Each structure stands twice: as C-alpha cells, then as structure tokens.
Amino acid sequence: MILVDSREPPSLKTLLKETCKELSIQCEEEKNRPFGDYVIISPTGVVAGIERKTTSDLLHTLSGNRMQRQLEGLKSSHTIPILLLEGMFQHTLTKAGSFVRAGGKITKWKSASIRNFLMSIQESGVRWQHTQCHQESITWIIEYYKYLSTVASDSIIRPVRLKQPADNRPPILVLRCIGCGTGVAERLIDKFASIRGIIDADDKALLQTVGVGPKVIENIRKHLG
C-alpha cells in the first residue's frame, strides 16, 4: 500500500493514483498526515516514510526549525525515513565562495552548507534521494515500493541512527557553517529557538548573547538575511 498526503499537489496525486491503478497497487489519500508526504507499507511490514521537498522549499524550511521537527517525526514513526529532494540545485561561484541559486537568483546559502546539511541527516539516520521532477519522483516511489515488496524484511538494510552530537543538529550546523562556534550556536538556538528567531532578532538582543559580537552579527545578516 502507498499512502499520499492530501496536501500534495493534485498533479502528483493524480499521477501516483493512475500509476498505482495500472500496476494493481493499493493507493489511498490520507488527510493532513503529521509526518511524511508518502508512506510505503510493504507486504513484509516495512514502513517507509517519505518527506518530499523541492529545492526551494528545502531552503525555506532550513531557516526555521520546521525541517528538524519533520525529520525527527519521520524517524520516530517509520522504519525507514527518507527525504526526497526534488529539483536541481544551481550554484554560482563568487569571490565570497559558491552560493546556491533558486528561482534564478543567488541566495544567501553557501553550497557547502547544503552539502553539510545532507551529510548530517544521513548521520542521524535519514536517507535522502534526489529526483529532477514530479514524474521522476513518482517513478522512484513506485520502484522503491516494488523493491520493499520483493525482499524479506530482515534482509533490508535499515539506516544506522548514530547518536548525533548536539553540535550536529541541523540548526546548529547551519550556524556553524556561517562561522559561529559550537558554544555560540547552542546559546543562540537556546535563546531564540530557531534560525528564524535569530534572523528576526534585533542586533541589541543578539549582542546580549554571550560570545556574540559585531562579526557574528555581520555573518548572520550576510548569510541568513
């Protein structure tokens, strides 16, 4: 069985349902799933949760703690948690380094920051898969369903969920990537709760955090907004 969240784009839901019907795969739409846009429930009892993100949506969710909540929920409620990244990242090389482009514009996200984020979620036990478009995403979901349906449950290699050091949590990793030390990053997250909270704070509030000076604030404004 494949479950799809009711909030997914209509074109994607239609394509999935039509493909499943052709292949005699049970497919059901579920309203407002808490975690995972798609869920594969194999005949062997393996439950794979898939969170689909376009490249633009990923950049947006990294600015707050929404991504962290989604991935933690995905890990806690599925045998195999997967981040499905849809679309192409484009990069522009500047004097300040390589930056990600989205919507034809250069963002404030460094290319290395995105690579480090993807490595960090793998270390935490979340697999990630890249596709280029809706069609390829649905094709991969169907093929992965077939794979899980034809192998024994005990032969599937499940993610090894390493105990993730505190300074490797995604929001703290983002701050480290822009030059903050681990201690400063932890204090900022503890005080402002998320990257978005840090971005929205004024300079005076930031300066009241131990270890934060003009240079740290400059990096925050320059790379995060």
Residues 68 and 101 in one domain: yes
How many whole angstroms separate alpha carbon 143 and alpha carbon 75?
22
Residues 147 and 175 in one domain: no
Residues 189 and 139 in one domain: no
pLDDT at 13: 95
pLDDT at 4: 95
pLDDT at 111: 85
Unique residue bearing structure tokens 């990053």: 185
188 is a domain residue: yes
* Four-residue CA torsion sign, 13, 16, 21, 24: negative
The CATH number given to whatever domain includes residue 31 is 3.40.50.10130
- Total number of residues shown for the chain: 225
Domain boundary among 110, 133, 155: 155
The pair of structure tokens assigned to 38 is 């798609």
Residues 63 and 21 in one domain: yes
Print the domain residue range for 27.
Answer: 2-155
The pair of structure tokens assigned to 137 is 């995403």
CA atoms within 13 A on the CB side of 89: 20
Residues 76, 79, 83, CA angle at the centre, nearest 5°? 75
161 is a domain residue: no
192 is a domain residue: yes
Domain boundary among 120, 155, 190: 155
Assign 25 to helix, strand or coil. coil
Residues 151 and 170 in one domain: no
For 8, counting Cβ atoms within 10 Å of its Cβ (0-12 exposed, 13-18 middle, 19+ buried), the class is middle
85 is a domain residue: yes
The per-residue pLDDT for range 119-162, each reduced to its tens digit, is: 888 888 899 999 999 999 999 999 999 998 887 555 555 555 54
pLDDT at 168: 47
Looking at the 3D structure of the chain, how many domains does it have?
Answer: 2
Output the tens digit of pLDDT for each of the chain's 225 residues.
899 999 999 999 999 999 999 999 999 998 888 889 999 988 777 789 999 999 888 888 887 677 888 888 888 888 899 999 998 888 888 888 888 887 778 888 888 888 888 888 888 889 999 999 999 999 999 999 999 888 755 555 555 554 455 544 556 766 766 677 878 888 888 888 877 788 888 999 999 998 899 988 888 887 676
Residues 61 and 147 in one domain: yes
Residues 135 and 196 in one domain: no
pLDDT at 162: 46
Residue 51 in contact with residue 20, Cβ under 8 Å?
no
What one-letter code names the amino acid at 39?
A: V
160 is a domain residue: no
81 is a domain residue: yes
Domain boundary among 155, 188, 206: 155
Per-residue b/e over 164-183, b at no fewer than 16 CB within 10 Å? eeeebbbbbbbbbbbebeee
209 is a domain residue: yes
What one-letter code names the amino acid at 55?
A: T
